[in-house]
Structure 1
Amino acid sequence: MIPMEERFLLIGKITKTHGIKGEVRVVSFTESVDTFRLLKEVYIKKGDFFQKFQIKNVRPHKNICIVAFEGINKIEDAQTLIGGSIYCDKSFLPPITSPDEYYWHEVIGLEVRLITGEKIGKIKNVFNTGSNDIFVVYNKREKKEYLIPSIEDTIEKFDWERKILWIKPLAGLLD
Structure 2
Amino acid sequence: MDLVIGRVAKAHGVRGELVVDVRTDDPGKRFAPGTTVRGILPRAKGAKRSGEKEFTIAAARNHSGRLLVSLAGVGDRTAADELRGVLFVIDAADVDSGDDPDEFYDHELVGLPVRTVAGEAVGEVRDVIHLPSSDLLAVTAADDGREILIPFVSEIVPTVSRSDGIFVDPPDGLLEG
* Alpha-carbon distance, 1:86 to partner: 0.2
Letter in 1 for 2:125: K
String of CA shifts for 1:122-161, please: whole Å, max 9, x gaps: 25225498xxxx5422245554422122x4883324244x
Check 1:29–1:110 CA distance in 2 against 1; reply closer, same or farther (3 A cut).
Answer: farther
Match of 1:102 among 85, 101, 104: 104
Tell me the C-alpha RMSD between the 2 structures: 3.6
Partner of 1:37: 28
Aligned mates of 1:69, 1:121 — CA distance in 2: 41
User: Which residue number corresponds to residue 78 of structure 1?
Assistant: 80
Number of residue pairs aligned between Structure 1 and Structure 2? 158
Q: What is the CA deviation profile of residues 20-74 of structure 1, one whole-angstrom value per residue up to 9, with x for unaligned ones?
A: 22122223333x4xx2222222221223323132240132655x53322233231
Please state how far the C-alpha of 1:75 moved relative to its aligned partner. Answer: 0.6
Q: Which protein is bigger by CA-based radius of gyration? A: 2
Query: What is the rounded CA distance, in whole Å, between the counterparts of 2:136 and 2:165 in structure 1?
Result: 13
Partner residue of 1:136? 136
> 1:174 — aligned with what?
174
Task: Tell me: CA distance 1:105–1:28, structure 2 relative to 1, closer, same or farther (3 Å).
Answer: farther
Asked whether the 8 Å contact 2:111–2:124 carries over to 1, the reply is: no
TM-score (norm 1): 0.65
Percent identity of equivalent pairs: 18
2:69 matched to which residue of 1? 67
Can you give the 5+ residue segments of structure 1 that lack an aligned partner in the other structure?
1-5
Q: For the residues of structure 2 that align with 1:171 and 1:77, how far apart are their CA atoms?
A: 54
Q: Is contact 1:10–1:85 with CA below 8 Å preserved after alignment?
A: yes
5+ residue gaps in structure 2? 42-49
